A and B are shown apart, each in its own frame.
Chain A
């Protein structure tokens, strides 16, 4: 090591340490980063068909549907499935009610016929016993 190099020894380290202090980022740096992050998010969420950009590299991707459209389709499918299911269920319920109503009518008619027959039979027995009933 030469004389001049030896002279630079201790002070050199101090100067180097001082020269390599961290420096402030430029004014408004954080805001610019957040702005770029926001732009990237918007592009990612609303770019139908646009190729995705990842770390500065374009990669081919299938056309992307916007997030809102995916949500709307999903919601539509759910509502559609619910609606079809409900209509089917309601039809079945209505058919059951109708069947029950018809059965009830038949039962009523049968009961009425039995009642009429029973009443007539009783009237005949009473008549044979000499008891006359009014109309």
Chain B
């Protein structure tokens, strides 16, 4: 069944883009319902996977925009919070979870590129084809996104990431 085969992929993309578990499930359900409505138009397993990734990214970013949540602003608040001395005691949170949180603070275009590259292991030209963007744009988003993540990680997690 298509839902069972692809639910991890769809839900993971939705979760990493939206940053919220409940919203991610809603987005993932909508994606599969749309698949259900138009499954006869999809020609192969690869086509299904390509379509699912594209629609998930679109729906997840639409959901973000509807909520008009600004990741950059959230990032600033979060960063300030981390630098107060009392918050330093809380730094025993798992590094991966912290990195995932930092990912949510990236601007949307950079975040999507990083997720598709490092979670879905897609190549820049595949990402470009999927998002309908020039390869150079995707590479730029990737490079800047990773740079920003590294910088944030270096500042906030230097005791853990060496």
Contacts and interface: CB of A to CB of B under 8 A. Distances in A.
A and B from one complex: yes
Interface of A: 2, 4-5, 7-8, 11-12, 15-26, 29-30, 32-34, 36-37, 40, 54-56
B158 interface: yes
Given A29-B28, A40-B36, A55-B34, 14 more contacts: A4-B155, A7-B161, A17-B118, A18-B96, A19-B100, A22-B12, A25-B10, A25-B11, A26-B11, A26-B25, A29-B3, A30-B1, A33-B3, A34-B3
Nearest to A24: B8
B109 interface: no
A33 B118 contact: no
A40 to B, nearest CB: 7
* Interface residues of B, dominant DSSP: helix
Interface of B: 1, 3-4, 7-12, 15-16, 21, 25, 28-30, 32-34, 36-37, 95-97, 99-100, 103, 114-115, 118-119, 146, 149-151, 153-155, 158, 161-162
Contacts of B161: 7-8, 11-12, 15
A5 B16 CA distance: 24
B96 A37 contact: no
A22 B150 CA distance: 21
B36 A23 contact: no
B61 to A, nearest CB: 15
Contacts of A40: 33, 36
30 contacts: A4-B154, A5-B151, A5-B154, A7-B158, A7-B161, A8-B150, A11-B161, A12-B150, A15-B95, A15-B99, A18-B96, A19-B95, A19-B96, A19-B99, A20-B119, A21-B119, A22-B8, A22-B119, A23-B8, A23-B15, A24-B8, A25-B7, A25-B25, A29-B3, A32-B29, A33-B36, A34-B3, A36-B29, A40-B33, A56-B30
